[in-house]
Amino acid sequence: MAASAFAQTGPAPYGASITMEQARKAMAAAEAEANKNSWPVVISIVDNGGHLVALHRLEAQTASIDIATGKATTAAAFRRPSKSLEDGLAAGGAGLRILSVRAATALQGGVPILLDGKIIGASGVSGVMASQDAQVAMAGAAAVAAK
């Protein structure tokens, strides 16, 4: 789910919160993507309110626990990939306002989980390069969207 898609259409609305079954499906797909690439990551799944539902650490450093959860929470709270906040910071100007939001993690690797066009939760990943974190997070989100 590209950040540019959000810029063109606006963020999706919130839907019902992610179920444990859906969180397990997202986690399994994200873990499979990480394992396929031998990436030691932490995968965090939160509900649409940003509350932790599931977390799995695949031999990643402990700092990645908070980072992955922060990315997921940011994606849920802002209704867009966490990379959009990172891009805003990089652009400077008005994008620097995000620095005033303590709970925001403006790093690539958090994506909303959509079902029927509505945000039910978010996936956040940390442990490897930011683009790789995002790849793992998107695999989890895509598994739920595919039903």
Residues 122, 14: Cα–Cα separation, whole Å: 11
Q: Any idea what the CATH number is for the domain that residue 51 is in?
A: 3.30.450.150
Question: Within a domain: residue 97?
Answer: yes
Question: Within a domain: residue 4?
Answer: no
- One-letter identity of residue 55: L
Domain extent for 129: 17-145
Number of domains in the chain: 1
Percent share of the chain, pLDDT over 90: 83
Q: What is the pLDDT of residue 77?
A: 96
User: Which of the four pLDDT bands, split at 50, 70 and 90, describes residue 42?
Assistant: very high
pLDDT digits (tens, 9 = 90+) for 76-121: 999 999 999 999 999 988 888 888 888 899 999 999 999 999 999 9
Helix (H, G, I), strand (E, B) or coil at 123: strand
Q: What Cα–Cα distance (Å) separates residue 82 from each residue in 2, 46, 52?
A: 11, 14, 16
Contact assessment for residue 133 and residue 42, using Cβ atoms and an 8 Å cutoff? no
User: Which of the four pLDDT bands, split at 50, 70 and 90, describes residue 6?
Assistant: very low
Question: Within a domain: residue 71?
Answer: yes
Question: Within a domain: residue 119?
Answer: yes
